[in-house]
Structure 1
Amino acid sequence: MPYVDGFVVPVPRKKLDDYRKMARKAGKVWIEHGALEFKECVAEDVHVGKRTSFPRSVKLKPDEVVIFSYIVFRNRAARDKVNKKVLEDPRLAEMMSGKDAPFDLKRMIYGGFETLVDLK
C-alpha cells in the first residue's frame, strides 16, 4: 500500500504566489527522485471548529490561508529513500534551511501515514 507524507501549513495571503513557486520547485524535485504524487491544496471550504479544525490546528491568523499538502510514495522504504535524496538535493538546500520560507515553520503540522484504504 502507498505511504503518504502529509502537511498542514498557514500561509500569508500576500505570500501565496511565493509559496506556489516554492511548492512547484519542490514538487518537481520530489517527483524526479521517485515520489508518485505531490499535491498542494489551498483551503477553500474550511471552518473554525468549536474545539479543533484546520484553522485552529495552525493558529490561523486573519490574513492567512491553510495549505494542505501531501506526497505519495510506493511504500515507507521508498519514502525514506526519496526523502533522503531530496534533503541532499542542492536545488532545495536554501529552501530546506527555512530562513526564507513563505510561511511560519513553527506552525507546520506534518507526519508520515500508512495507507488504510486506497480506492481509485
Structure 2
Amino acid sequence: MYVAVAALSVPEENREAYKEAAEFMANWSMDHGAIEVMEAWEQDVPDGKNTDFRKAVAAPEGEKIVAGWVIWPDKQTFEKANEAMMKGEGFEAHPGEEMPFDGSRLIYGGFEPILTKGR
C-alpha cells in the first residue's frame, strides 16, 4: 500500500469549485488504480503556538484548510498514474477552469504505512 497525502488551503468562496475539481481528480485517480480517495474540508483547525496547518500552507485570512489522501495498492501504481498525469492523459474531459486554490502552497508527499487499523 502507498498513500499520497496533501494539505492545502482554499478560499471559502471556492468551496464548490474545489469540490468539483476534487471530484474530477478522484474519478481520474480511481480510473488509474487508486483504492480510495478522501478530501476533507476544515471544521476545527486550531492555530498552533509553533506550527499548524495554516502556517504550513501559508493560508491567508478567508481560506479554509483541506486535507486529503489517495490510497494506492503500491508505489508502482502511483508512479504509473503520476506519469500519466504529467502527460495530461485523461484530462481531455477536464473543464479547463482555473484551479480554485493556489497550488504553490500545496504540501504533498507519498508514504508507506507502518500501521493500519480499522476498515
Answer whether TM exceeds 0.5 for this pair: yes
Secondary structure of 1:68's aligned partner? strand
The equivalent residue for 1:112 is 110
1:14 shift after superposition: 0.5
1:93 shift after superposition: 8.4
Superposition map of 1:63-74 within 5 A: 63-74=62-73
The equivalent residue for 1:52 is 51
Length, aligned pairs only:
117
Q: Is the 8 A contact 2:24 2:94 kept in 1?
A: no
- The answer to which structure has the higher helix fraction is 1
The equivalent residue for 1:83 is 82
Q: Is the 8 A contact 1:4 1:71 kept in 2?
A: yes
1:56 shift after superposition: 1.1
TM-score, structure 1 normalization: 0.88
The answer to which of 52-61 and 79-88 deviates more is: 79-88
1:94 shift after superposition: 6.2
Question: Residue 53 and residue 92 in structure 1: after superposition, are their counterparts in 2 closer, same or farther (change >3 A)?
Answer: farther
Q: Percent identity?
A: 27
Which runs of no fewer than 5 residues in structure 1 stay unpaired? Answer: none
User: Could you tell me how far apart the structure 1 residues matched to 2:107 and 2:116 are?
Assistant: 23
TM-score, structure 2 normalization: 0.89
Letter in 2 for 1:110: Y
The equivalent residue for 1:21 is 20
The equivalent residue for 2:3 is 4
1:77 shift after superposition: 1.2
Question: Residue 109 and residue 93 in structure 1: after superposition, are their counterparts in 2 closer, same or farther (change >3 A)?
Answer: farther
The answer to which of 75-84 and 13-22 deviates more is: 75-84
Which runs of no fewer than 5 residues in structure 2 stay unpaired? Answer: none
